[in-house]
């Protein structure tokens, strides 16, 4: 089996320092929607200057380089144990090179491991065997501030002021997603991107809500009903006047991505992962010796 440590290191560097083009384009379009001289416009302009500087200097886009989360789709015959070792070796090197901030803290004694390793879940690595010969590794660097404002609802419930019923249907999903955005205000470093999973259990729901965030910002959900709900939620979130960093304005959310999982008859969870403007996600594909980054 090939040693992919250096290639994964480059994947991490790219994710940490070079914002994907679809996210940058969405931020640039948002600037034009905000009033000249407004705090919202100023915040977005500063964000974009920062994005350019980070790319030029190969330095992190944000001081919080987040939780490194990997989704690995591997062909039959690959060792997931060795792949995990190589990912961990790349994470250690990326920390030494300051592409990643040491972010892994023991929850009982507060001690930072100093190298972004720690137990079985730091970094988080999900594996899935796929057909064919191509290995794909996707990475997301999930910031702490935006992770803190993620939310999970068990429907039916009541949300909002005055409170209103959110039932077990798409109308209920809409209400709880908007409630989560309202509660997040600017604390998740808006403008955010919403990854939403309908159904599953509490664990699989959050897992799938993050997986949904790997979709390109400008794609459309293949399910017409969900596509419509995604557009509606983005539009309605942007009418809440929360705005970039909570300064008010028209850009609270850059996009919404919804997926769904089967559920138990007894449960109806809606899991919402809020991703900040530092929407750091990148992909590496390996076919034979050929590596491609996107």
Closest CB 23 distance from ligand SF4, rounded Å: 12
Q: CA 148 → CA 105, 107, 118, 124, 263, distances in Å?
A: 16, 16, 20, 17, 25
x/- string (CB under 6 A) for ligand SF4, residues 97-136?
Answer: ----------------------------------------
Among 62, 94, 151, 193, binds ligand SF4 (CB under 6 A): 62
Work out whether 139 is an interface residue with ligand SF4 (CB under 6 A): no
Closest CB 65 distance from ligand SF4, rounded Å: 7
Given the DSSP bridges, would you call strands 157-159 and 151-154 parallel, antiparallel or unpaired?
Answer: unpaired
- How far is Cα 77 from Cα 185, in angstroms, rounded to an integer? 46
x/- string (CB under 6 A) for ligand SF4, residues 170-189?
Answer: ------------------xx
Q: Which residues of 51-90 are buried (b: 16+ CB within 10 A; e: fewer)?
A: beebeeeeebbbebbbbbbbbbbbeeeeeeeebbebbbbb
Among 145, 160, 216, 248, binds ligand SF4 (CB under 6 A): 145
Work out whether 146 is an interface residue with ligand SF4 (CB under 6 A): yes
Closer to ligand SF4 by CB, 90 or 193: give it.
Answer: 193
Please say whether the beta carbons of 164 and 173 come within 8 A. Answer: no
Closer to ligand SF4 by CB, 25 or 231: give it.
Answer: 25
Paired residues of 271 in beta bridges: 152, 197
Residues that bind ligand SF4 (CB under 6 A): 62, 64, 66, 143-146, 188-189, 276-278
């Amino acid at each position: 089996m090939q040693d992919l440590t250096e290639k994964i290191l480059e994947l991490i560097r790219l994710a940490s320092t070079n914002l994907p083009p679809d996210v940058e384009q969405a931020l640039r379009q948002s600037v034009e929607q905000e009033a000249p001289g407004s705090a919202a416009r100023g915040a977005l302009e500063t964000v974009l200057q920062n994005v350019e500087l980070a790319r030029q200097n190969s330095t992190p886009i944000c001081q919080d380089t987040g939780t490194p989360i990997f989704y690995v789709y591997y062909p039959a015959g690959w060792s997931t144990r060795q792949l995990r070792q190589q990912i961990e070796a790349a994470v250690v090197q990326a920390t030494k090179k300051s592409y990643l901030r040491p972010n892994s803290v023991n929850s009982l004694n507060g001690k930072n491991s100093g190298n972004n390793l720690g137990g079985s879940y730091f970094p988080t690595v999900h594996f899935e065997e796929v057909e064919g010969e191509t290995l794909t590794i996707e990475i997301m660097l999930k910031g702490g501030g935006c992770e803190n404002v993620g939310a999970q609802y068990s429907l039916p419930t009541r949300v909002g002021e005055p409170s209103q019923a959110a039932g077990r249907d798409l109308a209920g999903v809409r209400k709880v997603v908007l409630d989560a955005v309202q509660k997040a205000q600017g604390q998740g470093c808006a403008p955010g991107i919403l990854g939403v999973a309908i159904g599953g259990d509490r664990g699989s729901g959050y897992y799938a809500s993050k997986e949904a965030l790997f979709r390109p910002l400008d794609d459309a959900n293949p399910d017409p009903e969900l596509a419509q709900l995604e557009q509606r939620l983005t539009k309605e979130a942007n009418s809440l006047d929360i705005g970039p960093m909570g300064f008010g304005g028209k850009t609270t959310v850059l996009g919404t991505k919804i997926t769904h999982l089967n559920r138990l008859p007894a449960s109806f969870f809606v899991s919402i992962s809020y991703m900040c403007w530092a929407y750091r996600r990148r992909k590496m594909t390996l076919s034979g010796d050929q590596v491609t980054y996107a």
